[in-house]
Structure 1
Amino acid sequence: PLGRIARSIAVPTGAALALAAVLLVFGLGSSPAGVLACSLGALVVAGVVADFRRSLAARRELHPDHPFAARLRHVLVRNRRRWGAWMAHAGIALVVVAIAGGAWSSQDGGELRSGDVLRLGSYRLEFVTVERERSGASMRTRAVFHVHRGSENLGTMRAGRDFHPASGEVSNEVAIRHDWLRMHDLFITVDRLTEDGAVRVQAFVNPLVPLLWLAGLLTALGGLVAGWPDRRGVDPGTNPPSGVERANDAVHELRNGAAAPGELLSGVRGETGGTTT
């Protein structure tokens, strides 16, 4: 049992330690809490992936002639609630990692006039002009920025305020640019606009924020998989898996460390309708 447990946790633990080492090598050890949170998130996600891989390997050992798609379908369908719950847990772990990324956020700001440049990390924000427009019941004011990263022109971003004369309310409109490749978001806010055309700007680079989208998708998909109704009938011309086949699957998964003995035993009982003494 100890050997099986050690094999089960080897890959997730290695992934967590590897991520912690990478963060330290790249000089991100200034936030121990951030490193710890990211490592724990990696531990959970890698654990789910490793367990899924072991289940597929067990199925391949039992039925080497079956194509990958058939093995994948069998693993997901037979343990649908289990895998749905684990996918949701992985999504929650990604949320933790995304929040932990805030430990390495950067920001800068200042008062800019037309032609002035604000630098934040590899970004260069050039303030161009102020656009004013009356739209319906509101008055829109936008500061226009040309955004560059190194020598790359990333286009134009607009941030500003909307004034609603009827209610006297002012709402801030934030400019956001998602960078899925580098896994961070660039935010630009305008705190104040002066009569002479100057603007008070704040810019933020928030790492790992795009992970929140992936986490939400994974959590929702896990809930869908876990809650999908059981098939009531069997397609004509097909034979449902026998209790012996289910038991063989359980033995192979247990040997590969893919599930706990109690979980597999309960699954076999449910399929065969038998009892143990």
Structure 2
Amino acid sequence: MVVWGDPRVALATRHGKEGQIAPALLTVGLVAEVVAVDTDQFGTFTGEIARQRSAREVVIAKARAGLEASGLARGVASEGTLGPYPELPALTYDLELVGFVDIESGVTVIEEALSFETTVASVQARVNDDLGPFLHRVGFPTQGLIVRRGDGEFDPIIKGVVTTEQLRSAVAAIARSSRDGQVFIETDQRAHLCPTRRRVIEEAAQRLASRLSRPCPSCSRPGFGPVAHEPGLPCRDCGAPTDLDQAIVEGCSGCGELIRVPFAGGADPAQCSYCNP
């Protein structure tokens, strides 16, 4: 196990992610301390604040904000992206990143987890509409909800709806402000109100912990692991390069050491654009 000196790491979250991240870090000797950082400044799921940078840039910015606010040498944070999967838009995906920054060693590590089993749903309704089928489908009240106007205007918006009484009150209040009396009810994607996201964050955190347990073979800094993929695995029948990886490149973000790890064997001809055009 890596010896950290001060084992504390600042966890920048305002949505209860310590339940998913702290246990994973503890397995490698790190103790997460929640830091009061306004992570909404980096972007919100509901759109009041647009995310201006990539998810990878934001997760590192969050981690740095936490360590700077705490005065600790290490910071950790997570960032999620939900939406139509680029290669198959009918599917909704959840990509969760967990990033770690150590300003003492110069190590920056990001791990990720991808899931298609995520709850993202919405419905347009009026006061007294039967919402039973929608609520059952999304898993309410375990899954929280957001209520906003149904006429296209952004404000007002009520988040964190987790009881039937809160939902009834929110629908009535928002309907009164809406020009057409309609409301838009959607799943609240913030981690503390979205069980499916929490599971994916936990998986990403476990991968981060596993990565941090690997020292660099050159400088012994923690976090040695995959940094790039090299496509071109040859077809085992005709030898033509395919889109499959022929090697993975592992590296250290501290000293820059890189090791190419080739994959043995060849690609199935079914994956070859020549054998299976």
Greater RCO, 1 or 2 (C-alpha within 8 Å, sep 6+): 1
Same fold (TM over 0.5): no
TM-score (norm 1): 0.25
Larger Rg: 1
TM-score (norm 2): 0.25
Higher helix content, 1 or 2? 1
